[in-house]
């Protein structure tokens, strides 16, 4: 078991603003190439997050435009029910997934 020290307790109570302030003061002490690398990584992180969001929105929109699947099946496939006891939702989801596996020639 790890003992709790006063340093661990102090770091747990740091607010977001204080953490950003500490990071900014730490980066001010670093050489210019480290600071420029940090800025570049923040930009790349933002771009990657934007790409992930765009892919998700595109996939969601394409799934609604897919004609062989009933509209009600899409939310069940994207957002499965959290209640594991609901056999109706599980059965509905299984049937939706079976429909999704059908090729265009086998469509309803």
Q: Which residues contact 85 (CB under 8 A, 6 or more apart)?
A: none
Question: What's phi and psi for 2, nearest 5 deg?
Answer: -90, 130
Evaluate if pTM is beyond 0.85. no
40/84: higher pLDDT: 40
Q: What are the domain boundaries of the chain?
A: 7-65, 68-108
81/41: higher pLDDT: 41
Per-residue pLDDT tens digits for 54-89: 998 988 888 777 777 777 777 777 777 666 555 555
């Amino acid at each position: 078991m790890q003992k709790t020290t006063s340093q661990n307790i102090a770091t747990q109570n740091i607010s977001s603003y204080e953490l950003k302030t500490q990071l900014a003061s730490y980066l001010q002490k670093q050489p210019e190439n480290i600071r420029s690398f940090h800025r570049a990584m923040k930009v790349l992180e933002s771009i990657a997050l934007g790409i992930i969001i765009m892919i998700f929105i595109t996939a969601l929109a394409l799934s609604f435009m897919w004609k062989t699947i009933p509209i009600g099946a899409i939310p069940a496939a994207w957002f499965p029910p959290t209640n594991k006891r609901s056999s109706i939702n599980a059965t509905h989801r299984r049937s939706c997934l079976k429909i999704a596996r059908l090729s265009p020639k086998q469509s309803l």
